[in-house]
Amino acid sequence: AQRVTQPEKLLSVFKGAPVELKCNYSYSGSPELFWYVQYSRQRLQLLLRHISRESIKGFTADLNKGETSFHLKKPFAQEEDSAMYYCASTRGSQGNLIFGKGTKLSVKP
Site for other proteins in 3-32 (CB under 8 A): 9, 32
34 near other proteins, rule: CB under 8 A:
yes
The sign of the dihedral angle between the CA atoms of 89, 100, 23, 20 is positive
Give the whole-angstrom CA distance, residue 25 versus residue 96.
15
How far does Cα 38 stand from its chain's mean position?
Answer: 11
CB contact set of 90 (below 8 Å; sequence gap of 6+): 27, 31, 32, 33, 96, 97, 98
| Number of residues binding to other proteins, judged by CB under 8 A | 20
Judged by DSSP in three states, 51 sits in helix
How far does Cα 79 stand from its chain's mean position?
Answer: 17
Kindly tell me which of 17 and 46 has the beta carbon lying closer to other proteins.
Answer: 46
Nearest-approach distance from CB 30 to other proteins, in angstroms = 11
- Interface with other proteins by CB under 8 A: which range of 11-19, 38-46, 59-67, 72-80? 38-46
- Interface with other proteins by CB under 8 A: which range of 14-22, 60-68, 69-77, 86-94? 86-94
Nearest-approach distance from CB 93 to other proteins, in angstroms = 9
- Figure out which of the listed residues 14, 16, 46, 78 binds other proteins, where binding follows CB under 8 A: 46
